[in-house]
C-alpha cells in the first residue's frame, strides 16, 4: 500500500506499507499517493508524478480543490527495495504537466527477431 501524509513543515511524505509484513519504508519521493499507479507487469513497482520543486500549500486540500498545481516528473519506485529512478522529466513536452489519475497499460511489448 502506498500512502502520503503532510509532515510538520507542510511537506508531503510518501511511504510504502507492507500489510503482510507490517513494515513501512520511505518511498524516497515527495508526492501524493493519488498521483501514483502500481505497475501491472512488475507488481512491486509504483510509478508516480512528483513535483519538480515544492509548491507551498495545504496538502492535499489545495491540490484537490485546484488551488495549486505542480510541474511533475515521472519517477519509478521499487516498493520491495526502496530503489527510486527518474523515468522522465517531461521537459521535452510543449506543455507543463500536473500528473493525476495515473495508470499503466497491461500490454507487454515484445520485439521479434
Q: What proportion of the chain, given as a percentage, has pLDDT over 90? A: 24
**Residue 106 has what pLDDT?**
63
- The residues spanned by each domain of the chain are 2-88
Could you tell me which residue, 105 or 35, shows the higher pLDDT? 35
**Residue 77 has what pLDDT?**
93
Could you tell me which residue, 102 or 9, shows the higher pLDDT? 102
**33 pLDDT more than 80:** yes
Please state which of the ranges 80-84, 94-98, 107-111 shows the lowest mean pLDDT. 107-111
Mean pLDDT of 54-82: 88
**108 pLDDT more than 60:** no
**Residue 110 has what pLDDT?**
47
At a CB cut-off of 8 Å and minimum separation 6, what does 111 contact?
none
Q: Exposure pattern of 66-99 as b/e (b: 16+ CB <10 Å)?
A: eebebbbbbbbbbbeeeebeeeeebeeeeeeebb
Amino acid at each position: 500500500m502506498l500512502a502520503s501524509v503532510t509532515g510538520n513543515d507542510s511537506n508531503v511524505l510518501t511511504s510504502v506499507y507492507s500489510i503482510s509484513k507490517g513494515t513501512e519504508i520511505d518511498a524516497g519521493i515527495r508526492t501524493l499517493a493519488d498521483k501514483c499507479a502500481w505497475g501491472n507487469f512488475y507488481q512491486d513497482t509504483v510509478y508516480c508524478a512528483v513535483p519538480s520543486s515544492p509548491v507551498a500549500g495545504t496538502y492535499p486540500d489545495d491540490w484537490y480543490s485546484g488551488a495549486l498545481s505542480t510541474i511533475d516528473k515521472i519517477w519509478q519506485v521499487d516498493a520491495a527495495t526502496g530503489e527510486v529512478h527518474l523515468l522522465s522529466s517531461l521537459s521535452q513536452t510543449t506543455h507543463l504537466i500536473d500528473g493525476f489519475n495515473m495508470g499503466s497499460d497491461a500490454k507487454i511489448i515484445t520485439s521479434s527477431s
